């Protein structure tokens, strides 16, 4: 990428929409960067369309696609409703991620799945877990306020937290603690007394036979003191109070900054102050994501390859690039082995991410998963055919195919890759290109988003 001459940490520059120029041209590398962050990778046609459309029009399409996403989602909602187990739900969600006309929606649903963690093994009800992820999707690019209100009434979350019963005589503190320390304020912004008092406000709510019930006589209607406020508060009042705290929009902006822009360096308060102020006004997630994705900072070296791909991003980046759908039942199992078991975030804090995705075991696991996907036999069958994809896009020689596939998956980062022997390209040409692709997707650069 071209050297950056502006000061990327100045807010006025950082959050101004990127406009290509001679020093910072719109190119394949930036198109690939956009699709890694706002989607799960891209096909060659998508990358070429992005080059033709330019950054702002491409982002327009990612934010609000022209395709009929409502019809697509209705169809998948019906498929998922018929699922008899959480394992089936995992497979359907991965297939939705691969085929969706609105990848940013699924990318943000995955983000909220870690933020509002609920583990299917604890909930033990596939229908509740399906409703939970559907709830996340409904506001993934909508209103955080609305999403938080829905989460506070979500049986799956309450069961997962062990907060399915809260009586006046014995307030359950589990939801109030998660609400303040994980969902909104973040650690260090409330006291144990705040949590105890907030838990009193949520008394009267029970999950009975998988449905949320309110029993008025079990609600504590006495005065509570929460975060410097005093009153006869209900659970809805607590939500309003935490959303009014300055720590809440700042915590959420920082978390989304790590997801969309950079996880290697924490942003300074001055840098994110304009985003925090705007987000606090109405908690509009779409506007916040749009500001980040359009920004100079997003398209600068300060953001480029500054995130480690989670296992889902790693696997789907291969599948999307090679223009096919594989067995998502098998893929869900393999991703669980790599540490990302969909519908089963490990703790109330979700997946930690970052460097926690990469260790000696998971690196070997990623290499093995790539090998299984590209083998041409076994659990994934003969779905992914890099040589066939290369020929479909005009390649007729080993050299041109190698260049094409490197551009497709790495956007020409300049690595020295092993050359495919033209003499071996015959009946085994697909096998040779599969070996070559395996080399590409196991490079360090491909592990980075």
In sign, the C-alpha dihedral spanning 101, 107, 110, 112 is: negative
**Helices and strands (H, E) in the chain, number of each type:** 23, 4
Q: What is the pLDDT of residues 225-245, one digit of tens each?
A: 999 999 999 999 999 999 999
Does residue 418 surpass a pLDDT of 90? no
Q: What is the pLDDT of residues 335-377, one digit of tens each?
A: 999 999 999 999 999 999 999 999 999 999 999 999 999 999 9
CA distances, 9 to each of 6, 12, 13, 278, 322 (Å): 9, 9, 8, 18, 37
Radius of gyration of the chain (CA): 23
The CA-CA-CA angle for residues 408, 338, 433, to 5°, reads 30
Q: What is the pLDDT of residues 22-78, one digit of tens each?
A: 999 999 999 999 999 999 999 999 999 999 999 999 999 999 999 999 999 999 999
Domain boundaries, the chain: 18-63, 161-286+299-304, 311-447
Residue 429 has what pLDDT? 83
Does residue 121 surpass a pLDDT of 60? yes
Coil vs helix vs strand at 270: helix
Residue 6 has what pLDDT? 46
β-sheet bridge partners, residue 308:
448
β-sheet bridge partners, residue 143:
284
Does residue 412 surpass a pLDDT of 50? yes
What residues contact 420, with CB distance under 8 A and at least 6 apart? Answer: 398, 399, 401, 402, 432, 433, 436
Distance CA 263, CA 257 (A): 8
Burial of 382 (0-12, 13-18, 19+ CB in 10 A): exposed
- Of the two residues 384 and 413, the one the predictor is more confident about is 384
pTM, entire model = 0.95
Q: What is the pLDDT of residues 183-241, one digit of tens each?
A: 999 999 999 999 999 999 999 999 999 999 999 999 999 999 999 999 999 999 999 99
Does residue 427 surpass a pLDDT of 70? no
Average pLDDT estimate for 158-183: 98
Check if the beta carbon of residue 400 is closer than 8 Å to that of residue 388: no
Please list, residue by residue across 102-137, b when 16 or more beta carbons sit within 10 angstroms of its beta carbon and e when fewer do: bbbbbbbbbbbbbbbbbbbeebebbbbbbbbbebbb
Distance CA 245, CA 250 (A): 9
- Residue 3's pLDDT band (cuts 50, 70, 90): very low
The encoded tokens of residue 442 equal 């196991």
- Residue 2's pLDDT band (cuts 50, 70, 90): very low
364: part of which helix (H) or strand (E)?
helix 360-374
Does residue 422 surpass a pLDDT of 80? no
Q: Give the mean pLDDT of the chain.
A: 94
């Amino acid at each position: 990428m071209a050297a950056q001459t502006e000061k990327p940490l100045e807010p006025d520059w950082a959050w101004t929409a990127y406009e290509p120029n001679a020093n910072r041209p719109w190119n394949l590398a930036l198109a690939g960067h956009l699709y890694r962050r706002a989607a799960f990778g891209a096909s060659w046609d998508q990358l070429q369309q992005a080059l033709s459309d330019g950054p702002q029009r491409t982002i327009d399409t990612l934010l609000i696609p022209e395709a009929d996403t409502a019809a697509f989602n209705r169809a998948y909602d019906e498929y998922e409703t018929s699922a008899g187990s959480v394992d089936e739900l995992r497979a359907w969600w991965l297939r939705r991620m691969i085929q969706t006309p609105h990848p940013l929606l699924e990318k943000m649903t995955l983000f909220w799945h870690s933020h509002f963690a609920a583990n299917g093994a604890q909930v033990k009800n596939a229908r509740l877990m399906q409703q939970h992820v559907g709830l996340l999707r409904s506001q993934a690019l909508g209103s955080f306020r609305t999403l938080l209100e829905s989460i506070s009434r979500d049986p799956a979350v309450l069961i997962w937290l062990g907060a399915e019963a809260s009586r006046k005589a014995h307030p359950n503190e589990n939801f109030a603690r998660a609400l303040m320390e994980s969902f909104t304020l973040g650690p260090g912004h409330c006291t144990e007394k705040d949590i105890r008092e907030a838990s009193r406000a949520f008394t009267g709510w029970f999950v009975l036979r998988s449905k949320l019930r309110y029993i008025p006589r079990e609600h504590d209607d006495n005065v509570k003191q929460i975060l410097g406020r005093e009153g006869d508060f209900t659970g809805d009042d607590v939500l309003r109070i935490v959303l009014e705290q300055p720590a809440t929009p700042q915590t959420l902006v920082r978390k989304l900054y790590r997801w969309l822009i950079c996880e290697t360096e924490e942003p300074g308060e001055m840098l994110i102050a304009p985003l925090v102020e705007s987000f606090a006004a109405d908690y509009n997630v779409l506007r916040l994501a749009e500001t980040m994705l359009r920004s100079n900072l997003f398209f600068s070296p300060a953001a480029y390859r500054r995130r480690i791909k989670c296992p889902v991003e790693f696997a789907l980046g291969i599948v999307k690039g090679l223009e096919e759908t594989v067995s998502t039942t098998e893929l869900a199992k393999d991703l669980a082995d790599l540490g990302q078991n969909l519908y089963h975030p490990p703790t109330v804090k979700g997946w930690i991410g970052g460097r926690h995705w990469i260790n000696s075991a998971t690196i070997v696991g990623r290499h093995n998963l790539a090998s299984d996907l590209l083998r041409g036999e076994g659990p994934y069958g003969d779905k992914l055919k890099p040589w066939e994809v290369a020929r479909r896009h005009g390649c007729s020689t080993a050299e041109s195919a190698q260049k094409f596939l490197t551009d497709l998956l790495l956007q020409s980062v300049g690595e020295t890759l092993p050359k495919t022997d033209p003499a071996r390209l015959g009946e085994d040409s697909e096998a040779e290109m599969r070996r070559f692709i395996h080399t590409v997707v196991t490079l360090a650069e491909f592990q980075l988003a």
